[in-house]
Amino acid sequence: MVLIKCLFSLILTYYLVNGEDVLVTIPNGQLRGRLEYSMRKGVTFYAFQQIPFGKPPVGELRFREPQPADPWSGILDATQNTKVCYQVNDFINVSSIQTEDCLYLNVYTPKYPSTNNSYPVLFFLYGGGFLGGASIFTAAGPHYLIEGEVIVVTASYRLGPFGFLSTGDSASPGNYGLKDQTLALKWVRDNIKYFGGDPDKVTIHGASAGGASVTYHLASPQSQGLFRAGISHSGSLLTPWAYQDGAKDIAYRLAKAIDGNFNPTATTEELVQFLRSATADQVNKAAQTFQESVGNEQIVQGFFFAPVIEPPSETAFITEPMYSIVEGGRMSKVPLFIGINSEEALDRITCADRVAHSEESNYVWCYGNWSYLEYFPPADVLTSERYRTLITNFVKYLNPTPEPSELLENIIWPPVKNYDFKYLNINDTLSIETDPKNLTYPQWVKLYDDDSYRPFITY
């Protein structure tokens, strides 16, 4: 039995490597993709990797809004990932392929691409504190989500100073990483039909900084109409670490870290031109130097390079305090699936029990053709199956539990209502409970009410 399985795997691998090209034509040109295989359930899918959605943001385009990618001639090889955005925090060990030319996305389809198909689309934004992360196949393999019969799109966006440097004025307004995401969403709107996707059924999904990004898109007029639902896990536009109030000072400190003789009285225009004249390695290494010098306390003030409130302009992403936007109801009115882990901060404590920040990603994503699930006990494998079913149900039906099912223990997850905060507790079993974190949340509310100054920006 084992021998037969091994022989089958070898034959299938040979077929995948030597099979016919998978070609798709979009307005910018023709793409060559490849057939992929998920070993867990024997599911095949089609992969189109490193498709350009934006011009390389280099030279005079550094610290500017992204521009749509140019057309190409011939057939573009979209069968592998060889580029990621510069990493200030390279926690996934990809610095060997980091580059400023990184505005690419990947499309994974459950069936052979055809305009006759109309699959819902899950559009994923990676986390990493706006300082690291990547959308490449070895960091965000879609194998398990593909089992839910959805198209998966994973998009890159600029990080660190390249994505979030701001002088607080027109010299460098900031939020370029978020604007990259919006441009990628526009690409999906205009192109996903050629892969068999429905542009009117796009759900944006992210965790950590990706989760915060999802809620920023809900608040930004630049992204309205580009998606019909959102999934935000372990991050929000209201979290203090997802906002930077001292960006201008940080920009000057970055220049000083590159050249100790940089004039601190230089104008913001002179500052930005100096930073454009530096090499990408110089900019990134300078960011790493003073990022590491402060330590973890910086998370309380917001990551050094993070979203900012911009001065008003036609291209501004956010121009008013996020708390005011939420409080005033000026958000896109779309279904929203929000999740947290039981002990978010335990990722800083070695061998801590329970589910810490970002650990849920091991239940959802593969790393190339490898997954942690192979080493998980059966209860965790079942939890993974349930969690991914909830996600793909939401992408397809805007409801994580559209009908009772044995896999989900016949649970029907009710939406949150005013003064009736029901949530789904995902453990070895599933249960509907009321008021998450009900022992600590009221204390935080009281602290803000009694000892904080309004108007709030984060909360």
Structure tokens at 450: 């009694």
H-assigned helices in 267-377:
268-277, 280-294, 298-301, 322-327
Helix, strand, or coil here: 210? helix
117 - beta bridge partners?
none
338 - beta bridge partners?
232
Of 2, 80, 9, 72, which Cα lies nearest the Cα of 40? 9
Residues 50-95: tens digit of each pLDDT: 999 999 999 999 999 999 999 999 999 999 999 999 999 998 999 9
pLDDT of residue 441: 86
Distance between CA atoms of 29 and 27, rounded to whole angstroms? 6
pLDDT of residue 10: 38
CB atoms within 10 A of CB 99: 13
For the chain, which residues score pLDDT lower than 50? Answer: 1-19, 295-297, 299
Of 298, 262, 318, 4, which Cα lies nearest the Cα of 129? 298
pLDDT of residue 372: 72
Residue 281 burial (C-beta neighbours within 10 Å; 0-12, 13-18, 19+): exposed
For 433-438, which contacts have Cβ atoms below 8 Å and span 24 or more sequence positions? 436/340
38 catalytic residue (yes or no): no
The CATH number assigned to the domain with range 20-394 reads 3.40.50.1820
CB atoms within 10 A of CB 401: 21
Query: Considering 135, 156, 172, 208, which one is annotated as catalytic?
Result: 208
pLDDT of residue 1: 40
Contacts of 449 (CB under 8 A, 6+ apart): none
Supply the DSSP symbol for 237. Answer: T
The domain locations on the chain are 20-394
Q: How many CA atoms lie within 13 A of 295 on its CB side?
A: 2
